[in-house]
Structure 1
């Protein structure tokens, strides 16, 4: 803890924030905070925030990358990290100033309310089991690593394949129900139909895997389903937390010194970023606009019902596109050319392009289609955007590894149907 403040100071301000949260009408889980060091925050960031998580080389790589960037001042650390759990757990960095801790705690309560009330989180996650689930997964993976008959190399091989396919899980419907063990009485074709939006779940059920391998694929799939609502609501979630931290701190009647720092910190959080979309900025501006248009009651309904794609399509207006200075661009040779600006017609194209690219919008959808004489047929849901072929071929090898045989992928390249094939080595 810095000399600037004590635990008692944080407790005092947290109590003030909780009073404001209740007065506003936010509906939160019980909130727990943990003070951590910069080193701890680097670890939590690399291991997706969880106090317990299974080991994999990709997390170590993420940790070393973030640590190097941080040491050379190429990136900062998040002010906080909050977990969708009940009770809700959030980490505060010990080196934060007092004002930054106050702002961060208020921001966390915004996330907490969003986790508890947005329909994607209510449908696809069980917050009361989150920490237990991740700990159980970590324990099982470590038990396989330590098993003399399995060992780290075999575990890594399965985890690598499952990680390559971790986004091929349900995006638009309940994602919990994948059978354990395999339903032998169901045909592969019937399973492909039932799991047409869940390639990883299909492979977990139907792949030529022994039980511990199948369990590893289920673990990766279950954690991917848990994180999917966060991916699909990044703009809404960060915008909601930013909007309410601003409202809460305005009500706290901060001392002048803290108030000035608050304005500086808040503007840093919600400022536009050059060359990219800042979800805090876009989300904050949208909720600010919607509150003026519809009021707090409708704001709560929007928070509960939408995901980023529908949120932008329904509520991003021409006025907001102009206010946010949004435009689209294309790369032509060595030049970057603006293709649309927020005028009478252009703003609609900008809205649609942005809505198409948020969440999992830039991740291809690959579906299991049929099984023909042991060969798995999968298809790319072509939406006008072609697959990157080198990446597609490498990923197809992972599908074949989990399937245990030959896999064929149908896609479209240059307007022509193309079939890519891979067979387990």
Structure 2
């Protein structure tokens, strides 16, 4: 065992040095060797210190069962933090861990430098530990079952938030409107309010709540629900903060995994591998980048796009030279620029070319009757179709339209329909959870079979009109 640790430490040092030579800029790395149970628990929870909930346990048993039957395996688990934590699976061969180590160094570089991760907290490991302690305290005070039921409701709409933005905003969604205030000219201005003169009256609040549709359903309910107690508002704030931390990872899945795959291949080729290790690495890399049959493999598609970008900027065509002024030899600089600026949507829209769509054999398909059939292979429509499915990380775009619907304090939501219908059984199961959070009837407007439909829940039953 001691020899294995020494070999692993030596491999980490060699990979670290090679990654630096390639220009990767990552957080300080912390590696831990863990048994499968621990790795899959972290994978199910998303973080080692996160609060407990039965849905995480369900994910754990599903993932662990697939591992036990050799149907799937978590090769790498890395956390966006400073320092950056990476977990290696006990029982892996040294060459497997070498690939994982090279892969996570590139992930850490992406976390540190991609602009969409800039607003995220790098101390979320500690923050989530505080959150977990708070929820345990609430369970002790109000009862485990009571807290679990409320968490069920909060997690049912956890994706309906306003994601962290790299641009400053005037106010958080759900914040109450405030009247105008006089600019403060001196430190003693507040004393002049004592002179008996009438104070400036605040602007009367707009009747509509919210003044404009808001996507941040969690924040709106947290700030405006008349039924919530303080501890419940705190749990909503916890769920929202943690989802805002995970959001950049969800919107950069293809580009992030593509970047890590691109670099682990190049780092491994520079290492002094034995003949057996070289063969095993080739086998592992091929399994990681194997094209998916029914879905996009982000490792494969992402790395192929990066390779294509580097090639086109290194050796531009005559048309590219004349049209864009490319000089050639700029491929490496360009992929670092792309790594910094893009998310999955912009990555595919800007760099998925006709040639790549044909090479990767990408197409759109749907189920017709009992069979899956190809419905589109025009490269621009395929690209736009893929981008459309990634909008809002693939979740339905639903806004709070009115928090005082028909002047009865009811909640009116609207689905921003774009040719993709909601799952009606799922919708009908979720509305009672939103009712629990809001405390009054809830309505959701959407489009079914080309016609506008409104689903409602009044605390007793679902209805549709």
TM-based fold match above 0.5: yes
2:153 is aligned to 161
Higher deviation after alignment, 87-96 or 166-175: 166-175
Give the secondary structure class of the aligned counterpart of 1:411.
strand
Alpha carbon RMSD of aligned pairs, Å?
2.3
Q: Deviations along 1:217-267, whole A, 9 cap, x unmatched?
A: 111111111111111111011110000001111112322221221111111
Distance 2:294 2:95 in 1: 30
1:11 is aligned to 9
1:200 is aligned to 218
Structure 1 residues 26 and 188, CA gap change in structure 2 (3 angstroms): farther
1:403 is aligned to 438
Distance 1:415 1:354 in 2: 22
Given that 1:243 and 1:287 are in contact with CA atoms closer than 8 Å, whether structure 2 keeps it comes out as yes
- 1:354 is aligned, of 371, 386, 407, to 386
Distance 2:291 2:80 in 1: 27
Q: Quote the offset at 1:401 in angstroms.
A: 1.3
Q: How does 1:189-268 map to 2 (within 5 A)?
A: 192-193=210-211, 196-207=214-225, 208-268=227-287
Aligned pairs, number: 413
Distance 1:350 1:180 in 2: 34
Q: Quote the offset at 1:184 in angstroms.
A: 8.9
Structure 1 residues 181 and 411, CA gap change in structure 2 (3 angstroms): closer
Structure 1 residues 260 and 192, CA gap change in structure 2 (3 angstroms): same
Q: How does 1:377-392 map to 2 (within 5 A)?
A: 377-392=412-427
Give the secondary structure class of the aligned counterpart of 2:420.
coil
Where structure 1 has 5 or more consecutive residues not aligned to the other structure, the ranges are none
2:290 corresponds to 1:271: yes
Q: How does 1:250-399 map to 2 (within 5 A)?
A: 250-294=269-313, 295-341=331-377, 346-358=378-390, 360-372=392-404, 373=407, 374-399=409-434
Distance 1:60 1:83 in 2: 20
Given that 2:349 and 2:384 are in contact with CA atoms closer than 8 Å, whether structure 1 keeps it comes out as yes
Q: Quote the offset at 1:330 in angstroms.
A: 2.2
Tell me the TM-score normalised to structure 1 length. 0.91
2:199 is aligned to none
Structure 1 residues 143 and 37, CA gap change in structure 2 (3 angstroms): same
Distance 1:239 1:392 in 2: 34
Given that 1:199 and 1:368 are in contact with CA atoms closer than 8 Å, whether structure 2 keeps it comes out as yes
2:38 is aligned to 40
- Structure label with greater radius of gyration: 2
2:49 corresponds to 1:66: no
Q: Quote the offset at 1:340 in angstroms.
A: 2.1
Q: Quote the offset at 1:194 in angstroms.
A: 7.0
Structure 1 residues 55 and 175, CA gap change in structure 2 (3 angstroms): farther
Given that 1:179 and 1:205 are in contact with CA atoms closer than 8 Å, whether structure 2 keeps it comes out as no
2:322 is aligned to none
Distance 2:345 2:173 in 1: 33
Give the secondary structure class of the aligned counterpart of 1:283.
helix
Give the secondary structure class of the aligned counterpart of 2:457.
strand
2:73 corresponds to 1:102: no
Distance 2:269 2:296 in 1: 26
Tell me the TM-score normalised to structure 2 length. 0.84
